Amino acid sequence: MGAVIGTRRAGAVRAGRAFLLPDNSLHLRAVSDALVDGARLEGWGVAPTIEVPFRLEYSDGADPELDRAVETLARTGRDQGN
Q: Any idea of the CA torsion for 9, 25, 33, 13, to the nearest 10 degrees?
A: -20
User: Please, what's the b/e burial string for 1-32 (b: 16 or more CB within 10 A of its CB; e: otherwise)?
Assistant: eeeebbeeeeeebeeeeeeeeeeeeeeeeeee
Render pLDDT for 43-69 as a digit per residue (tens, 0 to 9): 888 889 999 987 777 778 888 889 999
Domain boundaries, the chain: 5-79
The pLDDT assigned to 1 comes to 67
**Mean predicted confidence (pLDDT) in 18-41:** 91
Tell if the pTM clears 0.75, that is, is over it. no
Residue 25: predicted pLDDT? 97
74/68 Cα distance (integer angstroms): 10
62 vs 79, residue with greater confidence: 62
Indicate the pLDDT class of residue 3, thresholds 50, 70 and 90.
confident
Distance CA 12, CA 4 (A): 17
